[in-house]
Each structure stands twice: as C-alpha cells, then as structure tokens.
Structure 1
C-alpha cells in the first residue's frame, strides 16, 4: 500500500501518460495539442464535494457516488477515495493564434478542442488502466456510460461531474467572470480527472475564495473577457450560457469550411486576457 502522503508518483503517472505521441493536433500541425499537465489531488470526503450538491445541483455526483457506480458491490468510503485532477495547458502557439481572432476560433484552437480533447479522454482511460494495474480500483466519471449534460434550474446546463469544480477542489484554480477556471497555467486549458481507491491526504488549497484569481471579483476591475466575447455572452453580471452555447453551435460550419473537419470551438474569452497563461500578476 502506498504511503498516504506520497502522491508524487501519481503526478508522475499523469505527466508520463500525457507525453504520448497521441497528444497531437493532427492535420498540418506536427506538434502536441497540450503542454505539460498540472496535477492536483483531493480526498473524497472533502467538504467541497458535498457542497457542490447545493451549488451545482443535486445531480452532481460526489466521489463516493461516482465510485459506487463502478464498484456497486464493494463501494469505497469517501475517505478512501483519491480524486485526481489535471490541467492540460494550451500551447503558446495555440494561445497566440486564438488571441488574434475576434469571432471564430483559430485552427490550432479548434484542433485542440476536438483532437486534443479526444486525447484527454484517452488519458483518462490510460490513467484508470494504470491505477488498476497498480492494484487500485479506479474509474473516470466523465467516461461512465450515461454521463452527459443535463438542464439545470441553477446552472442552466450542468453535468453530474464538473471538471472545473473538481479541479477547484483539488487546489488547481478558481473561477473567473466567464466561468472558466483560472489556474497557475492560466485559463486557456482543458481539464480531466479520475478516481481511485487510494489513500491520500486532504487537499491543501492555496486560496480561500472561489474567485480569488479573477481580477474582476478580487479587485473590482478588468472585464477583458467581456470585451473578448464575440456575442456578448459575458457581462459584469456573469456568463450567459445559452448565448455561449448558441455561438459554439454556430462555429460548426465555420470549422468544417475553414479547417476541413467536424468540430466546434471558441475560447476567445480564454485568450487575450490577463489570466490567459497564468494567475494575473496583481493577484500572485
């Protein structure tokens, strides 16, 4: 059994798996879709996971509920579960390209959204496999059959496992005005997670407030993401998910016509902002 305080091997596992040649843009770009991941770990009995039932909605699984789906005859107790979350940073080239756009996504960004996210799913599968081979029951909630977005009275759209909220609980970042997660690698990221029956210490979060890294909330000024949104889906009041979703859907024919593959993306609010590639300097 692993020492509960020795979690460095878990980070090494995720980082090692991320270096696969399948971490790729494909098409005209012979380069990785993602930079080196950041990894955070929390214990399944962290109070935030229960709080998400209230703040996200009752449909959001706790780690114990998710693990019970995969191991119904021997479900682990919440304190026996490791919640392993990772941040996949967009590359500097992808961020630069998307920063120059005003309405639709750059090709690199669209490719990372589709092909890079496909690799993220593969990374989850391989992390689960590696953990099981090491002797630990494991699963990935977002890959569980039946997982998907649902209508939510509180959040408009929600899922039973929000990767952003999981990463926040694991100490990896806080929320911005546009609802994106601002991390030490910035807001131009994708997220993933797996669960394992594995003893780990409680998470140590370097923040007390869920908006700590957002200039708008922390200092009362910024609004860069408001200016970046091409359809006015972000305002000082927050993020209009319906407008955002409608614009994402409208990018599908553009991605096909311009870049030659089926997909959708935007990410303009994740680039060209002080939080694009890190925590804003004024808040470090």
Structure 2
C-alpha cells in the first residue's frame, strides 16, 4: 500500500457515506453530517509542544497520548501521525439553526447527541482499521486517560482537544467564540486519531491561529457576539463559565423537555455568521 493518506481518507469518507449511525435519529433518518474534511499532522510538529506550554502541563502531546495507550512500545514523536477530520453540519440543520435566537433547533440538538455518537463510532472505526492493518492507533478522547481539566490561562479544558488537533493539521483557525473556522465553516464537529504510521503532513495554509476570523484580521465583524444568548462572547473573547452556565441552566432542560434528548447543545454562535459555512472574506456574509 503506497497511498496511505488516500486509504485513510477513503476509510473516513466511505464510513460517513454508508454508516447508518450517521443519522439525526429522527423519523426521516436524515444524515447528521456532510462529507468530512480530512488532514494530517506529524507527532513531532512543534505546535503540539507549544499547545502544551500554553494550555497546561496536563495537555498531552501525540507521543504522550500514544505512550499511555501503548506503554510497552517505545516510539519517537516523528513516527506518529495525527489523523484529523471535520464533520460539517448539513444545510438543513444550519438553516433551522439560523432561525433560532435563544434555544437550539431540533436538528442541531440531534446532531449534538446522535451526531457526536457517530463521531465516536468513526473514531473507533478509524482506529480499528489502522490496528487491523498493523498500525497501532488510538482515539485520545475515547481513551481511559482522557479527562477534563482546568487551564490556569484558559479555564475549562481537557488533556486532548479535537479542535486543536484539527488546527495543527491545517484544517482551520480559531474564531472570537473559540469555534474552529474551516473550509466548511464553523458549524462543524471535529475528530482525531493518533497512529504509528508515516504520512506526509498536510500543509498549514495559515501562520496565525486566528487567521480566518474577521474580528482579528480586519478588526470588524463580531457577529457571533450578537448570536450568543448568554452574553458569553465579547471583544475579550469567549467566557467559558457564562457559556457553560447557560448550557446547564437553560438549554439542557429545553432540549430534554422539547425533544426528549439529554444533551448540552447551543451553538447559536456557529450559524447566521459570516464563517458559518466557509472561510469568510466579508462581515456581510452569512
């Protein structure tokens, strides 16, 4: 097998296209996600060390995550590849969500619950495909050692971030609300697997972690601030405490009572904004 990147990308996209789990769990059996975007980064990429230094000592580099999963196997960081993907919300889900101003739409809530269950299934599928082919692999967020944490600098955090892995892999940059702006926009979910496999890293088409956010690049936009019912987004950034409080107090009960789903969902800042479904060039988009 010579085209390992193509093989893995096909495994991810074909699973998304054929798996019955890629569903909103509604009567119409609608797809939860559109076609994934896939990219790769090397385990020795200096950004992973920078993330650890920036977020906190608890944050795992790819090599540290791999070593925890395979403690008897010695590996060098450069022998590892992080496989990252983006799952875009469907047109129907985004259209519904644009109309909301206080609570999540039903499709959005379903994508958060059933769609994330598919994302977990996709992580297992990718890791299994690799392991069965002789390449040791793990999905860090599904590992027993994955945990939430508190960053001294950023507050609520965890020891592995799907969004940050996607950023390092060239898939997107962060917006004012902390969402990842990708070629498919910000209305997305992310996933990743770390594997002992040699794949050419995807070239990052940006040098700054805010390169796709109009607020940071043009000094204007801020549309996500007006979309947040919790007042958790300001020019100072994303207030995670206010955001989490709104999820717990308001949207969890709403989603449970209205749709019979127990999940934390909101995501209003990801729609009716210029970066909803693309990399924006003008604050009038969206």
Please classify the TM superposition score into its range, dividing by the shorter chain length: over 0.9
**Which residue pairs with 1:261 in the alignment?**
261
Distance 1:199 1:53, change over 3 A: same
Question: CA–CA distance in 1 between the matches of 2:136 and 2:117?
Answer: 23
Contact 1:169–1:203 under 8 Å retained in 2: no
Is the CA contact 1:84–1:193 (under 8 Å) kept in the aligned structure 2?
Answer: yes
TM-score by length of 1: 0.96
Task: Give the aligned partner of residue 7 of structure 2.
Answer: 9
SS of the residue corresponding to residue 198 of structure 2 reads coil
Q: CA RMSD in A?
A: 1.3
Indicate yes or no: 2:286 matched with 1:275: no
Instruction: Give 3-state SS (helix, strand or coil) of 1:7's partner.
Output: helix
Instruction: Provide TM-score, normalisation by structure 2.
Output: 0.95
1:159 corresponds in structure 2 to 158
Deviates more, 1:14-23 or 1:265-274: 14-23
Distance 1:55 1:29, change over 3 A: farther
1:18 to 16, 19, 28: 16
Whether the 8 Å contact between 2:169 and 2:201 is mirrored in structure 1 is: no
Residues of 1 paired with 2:281 and 2:236: CA distance? 24
Alpha-carbon contact 1:37-1:89 (below 8 Å) kept: yes
Deviations 1:223-257 (A, max 9, x none): 10000000110001100000000111121111111
Map 1:120-159 onto structure 2 (within 5 A): 120-159=119-158
Q: Provide the rounded CA distance (Å) in 1 between the counterparts of 2:215 and 2:239.
A: 17
Give me the whole-angstrom Cα distance separating, in 2, the residues matched to 1:29 and 1:105. Answer: 19
Distance 2:281 2:109 in 1: 28
The separation in 2 between residues aligned to 1:257 and 1:29, in whole angstroms, is 21
| Counterpart-to-counterpart distance in 2, 1:85 and 1:75 | 23
Q: Which deviates more, 16-25 or 231-240?
A: 16-25
Is 238-247 or 55-64 further displaced after alignment?
Answer: 55-64
* 2:96 partner SS: helix
Aligned-residue offset at 1:6? 4.9
Q: Secondary structure of the equivalent of 2:117? A: helix
